[in-house]
Structure 1
Amino acid sequence: MHELHKPHEPYEPQNPPHPHPPRPLTLNPAGGDRHAEDAELRSRGPATRVDVLGVEAWAVSDPALLRQLLTDARVSKDPRQHWPIFPDKIVGSWPLALWVAVDNMFTAFGGDHRRLRRLISPAFTSRRIAALRPRVEEITRTLLDELETAAPGDPTDLRERFAYPLPIRVISELMGLPDHTRSGFRRTVDRVFDTRLSPDEAAANTQELYAIMAEQVAAKRARPGDDMTSVLIATRDDDGAALTEQELLDTLLLVISAGYETTVNLLDQAITALLTHPGQLALVREGRVPWSDVVEETLRYEAPVAHLPMRYAVEDIPLPGGLAIRQGEAILASYAAAGRHPALHGPTADAFDVTRTGQAHLAFGHGVHVCLGAALARMEGEIALRDLFARFPELRLAVPASELRPTGSFISNGHDALPVVLRP
């Protein structure tokens, strides 16, 4: 296995780049055959031009180059400062406008990012995450009890009845999202990740999403609780210099939506991988491999977020072979393609192997923008998978794996449904 290059080491590409940029590869908005698309990205070199719903960007699939760019001061996440086509050619005309137009730590650069991240970080300290473990275990048991009601032999959609509700309940309790708003919020967030929407459909969904968030903020202002939403509102109302009203709404949107989408796909893909690799599942059941290794190998093998838009070159960034990412050009972090890159895991990169030595991956990002909720997602994954397979030892897919349909997205990496039979 090749280790990731350290930031100070000179980058050496593992695949020789094309002498001239090839025609941009158009990403399939419906997800489609993601593995073939990722293989094509890798074959084009460390970075290649792609068409992202009509907007061109550099997709970076080489893990060493990606790691370098994620920590490079010449790379920004703020389109207002560093993407020349924003907002004129993006807002109102590009379906993924919300991904780059939000005003929170996801799109902040430099001091603004540090300020915004500092406000939400206390909710995700190691101590706070550890304190959530009993509640995660309790929610998991409740969901498994509900699954027990399924008749033997009847198909059950584990994505809908297990992978979704667990992280939604956890993040909703952390942020104080009331029960009656969860279904509406989930529907709108799912559509944020749906890359098949037209610009008008995406804009309408964004409007609905902000209406839900505004209602949540108004309710918590009237009746604060012991939750992170109330803490952020108090910070905003007591010191407006720390957080604008738009930053408040967008920060809540980021934390709640990111707080469950990644974990849903992690659980979905881990269950699928284990059921289609019975030898690997046997190793875990025999106690030879811990569930934490299953989580890490799943994150590498099927990154929950396949592509994450966008970053921007603050200045020209030379690439090997005479190519360069020019100032103002967009950069797409292609986490799924990077996870299976042979430069990182050699000829077995496409294999699901829970015994893999050094399960290095970038599924949660890297550098200052690394996912704050990574530890929570890992904990939820370990508990949920452990308890699910203990409760239902005869669990199997209800359809051939080839019939599982991907989510309609090149961002979110999961399945539309995960039908299983819990017991014969």
Structure 2
Amino acid sequence: MAHPAGCPRLVLDPTGRNRDAESAELFARGPATPVDILGVHAWAVADPELLEELTKDPRVSKDGLQHWPGFEEALRTWPLALWVNARNMFTAHGAEHRRLRRLVGSAFSTRQVNALGERIEELTAALLDGIAATPPGTAVDLREHLAYPLPIQVIGQLLGLPEELRDQFRYYVDRVFSTVLSPEEAAANAAAFYAMLDELIALKRERPGEDMTSLLIAARDTEGDGSALTEEELRDTLLLIVSAGYETTVNLIDNAVALLLTHPEQLDLVRTGKAGWDDVVEEALRRDAPVAHLPLRYAVEDVELPGGLTIRRGEAILASYAAAGRHPVRYGEDGGVFDVTRPVKDHLAFGHGPHFCLGAPLARLEARTALRALFERFPRLALLPGVELEPVDSLISNGHRTLPVLLDGGPAAE
């Protein structure tokens, strides 16, 4: 695949263990720089000002089928082929994107999200009851027992996922976000994931409910004006909602808890009323974006960048959200500092422009509810002593493998 002209490529670490050093390198290289993503070449953009411009520029597309010469080769050889090949609003451009987004958007309206508030509180309370049963002095993994199950239960309810299928969906989604699989392993995972989606669609066609899956199927099967989903779009839209609907929220809750436990002075600001849980959520999103790098966008025509660089027509673009959230151009030299009183609240953790994440209000509500309830229920919560948090094996997903804590391991809150 063609290599963008200019400076040598920065090879991104698929394990996510080099993220801080990579971000520093991205800052040093300027607004955009050539990178290697598991063998695919692209321009990584970490400058938030430029990233905002490109995400809303009509000369930049997310439809690789139409606008990326490397598309066919990627399908054959790239472990992340599913990220560019699925036919849903994530990979659509222009009028097609607007059509697909409209069909899903109503389910994530402010009214619909707020209606879930009581149920999210109930689910959180039940999970915390389970956590509270942990024997004294025994570590509990909050990623496994809170950050994971809450979002998947919420998205499961939205989509009408049967209880017996949820763990399987989680397994496949985790592997979609993994960037250490071989192309063969990734293809096998995608095939198994699609088989599960076909099973869900068949189940809901036979026994429809009031869930989003049933509503999308009904629109697919009854609307004949050309605006409804095709069968392929139906499957890929469900794939997108299941995947994006919980993985990013898992990382948001995980990262926010880890940040508060490693910055107790920031937790004290919340407990003393000098900051709120919304402040914690927004600062966690900025400081540790749940998605580090998001593949891919493509130049529909030549796009000139600051500094005399040009992204040529057909070249790929990688949105580097984790680096953008700490970039000194917007956040100063202390962009890496976790500060819940930071006056600048804007960030790009949920994207920007036409592809801004539809699920952002739901993710924020889940995180806010979980954090408030967790720290009220366990005021002496502390990280397991001596633990070193390890990142998940991904250059896309930005979270921890585990988050081991002691429920009664820290100083009592005043």
| TM tier relative to shorter chain | over 0.9
Cα deviations across residues 349-385 of structure 1 (Å, max 9, x unaligned)? 1100000002211000001100000000001111100
Structure 1 gaps of 5+ residues are 1-19
Distance in 1 (CA, whole Å) between partners of 2:39 and 2:385 is 36
What is the aligned partner in structure 1 of residue 223 from structure 2?
Answer: 239
Structure 2 gaps of 5+ residues are 410-414
Distance in 2 (CA, whole Å) between partners of 1:47 and 1:28 is 18
What is the aligned partner in structure 2 of residue 417 from structure 1?
Answer: 402
Secondary structure, aligned partner of 2:76: coil
TM-score (norm 2): 0.96
What is the aligned partner in structure 2 of residue 131 from structure 1?
Answer: 115
Q: CA deviation at 1:296?
A: 0.1
What is the aligned partner in structure 1 of residue 75 from structure 2?
Answer: 91
Listed as ranges, the matches of 1:8-87 within 5 Å are: 21-87=6-72
Distance in 1 (CA, whole Å) between partners of 2:167 and 2:122 is 21
What is the aligned partner in structure 1 of residue 236 from structure 2?
Answer: 250
Secondary structure, aligned partner of 1:21: coil
Distance in 1 (CA, whole Å) between partners of 2:70 and 2:267 is 48
Distance in 1 (CA, whole Å) between partners of 2:287 and 2:233 is 34
Q: CA deviation at 1:336?
A: 0.3
2:314 aligns with one of 328, 343, 346: 328
Listed as ranges, the matches of 1:95-114 within 5 Å are: 95-114=79-98
2:187 aligns with one of 187, 197, 203: 203
TM-score (norm 1): 0.94
Secondary structure, aligned partner of 2:400: coil
- Check the 8 A contact 1:399/1:419 in 2, yes or no: no
Listed as ranges, the matches of 1:274-293 within 5 Å are: 274-293=260-279
Secondary structure, aligned partner of 1:312: strand
RMSD, aligned CA:
0.9
Distance in 2 (CA, whole Å) between partners of 1:166 and 1:208 is 24
- Check the 8 A contact 1:300/1:363 in 2, yes or no: yes
Secondary structure, aligned partner of 1:273: helix
Cα deviations across residues 61-86 of structure 1 (Å, max 9, x unaligned)? 00000000000010000011100121
Distance in 2 (CA, whole Å) between partners of 1:38 and 1:92 is 30
Distance in 1 (CA, whole Å) between partners of 2:367 and 2:307 is 41
Cα deviations across residues 112-143 of structure 1 (Å, max 9, x unaligned)? 00100000001001100010000000000000
What is the aligned partner in structure 2 of residue 406 from structure 1?
Answer: 391
Instruction: Give the residue type in structure 1 aligned to 2:130.
Output: E
Distance in 2 (CA, whole Å) between partners of 1:224 and 1:377 is 26
What is the aligned partner in structure 2 of residue 361 from structure 1?
Answer: 347
Secondary structure, aligned partner of 2:89: coil
Instruction: Give percent identity, aligned residues only.
Output: 62
Distance in 2 (CA, whole Å) between partners of 1:357 and 1:322 is 33
1:296 and 2:282 correspond: yes
Instruction: Give the residue type in structure 2 aligned to 1:90.
Output: A
Distance in 2 (CA, whole Å) between partners of 1:109 and 1:263 is 25
Q: CA deviation at 1:400?
A: 3.5
Q: CA deviation at 1:92?
A: 2.5
Distance in 2 (CA, whole Å) between partners of 1:202 and 1:139 is 32
What is the aligned partner in structure 1 of residue 365 from structure 2?
Answer: 379
User: How many residues are matched?
Assistant: 403
Distance in 2 (CA, whole Å) between partners of 1:257 and 1:345 is 30
Instruction: Give the residue type in structure 2 aligned to 1:285.
Output: R
Secondary structure, aligned partner of 1:186: helix
Cα deviations across residues 378-398 of structure 1 (Å, max 9, x unaligned)? 011111000000000000001
What is the aligned partner in structure 2 of residue 188 from structure 1?
Answer: 172
Distance in 2 (CA, whole Å) between partners of 1:69 and 1:94 is 24
Distance in 1 (CA, whole Å) between partners of 2:386 and 2:350 is 30
What is the aligned partner in structure 2 of residue 394 from structure 1?
Answer: 380
Secondary structure, aligned partner of 1:90: helix
